[in-house]
Amino acid sequence: MDNQISAIGVLSLLETTKEQRESFVRSIVSALDEGQVDPLKIHLQVKNTEDLIKQITADEKYREFLLNEAQKYGKSFEQYNAKFQVKETGTRYDYSGCNDAELRELERQAAEISERLKARQKFLQNIPASGIEVLQGDELVTVYPPIKTSTTSVTVTLK
pLDDT tens digits, residue range 79-98?
988 899 999 988 999 999 99
In total, the chain counts a number of residues equal to 159
In the DSSP assignment, the letter for residue 22 is H
Query: Tens digits of per-residue pLDDT, 6-34?
Result: 888 888 888 788 899 999 999 999 999 99
- pTM value is 0.69
Q: Which phi-psi region, left, alpha or beta, contains residue 74 (left: φ > 0; alpha: ψ -120 to 50)?
A: left
Q: Give φ, ψ of 77 to 5 degrees.
A: -160, 160
- Contact (Cβ atoms closer than 8 angstroms) between residue 143 and residue 132: yes
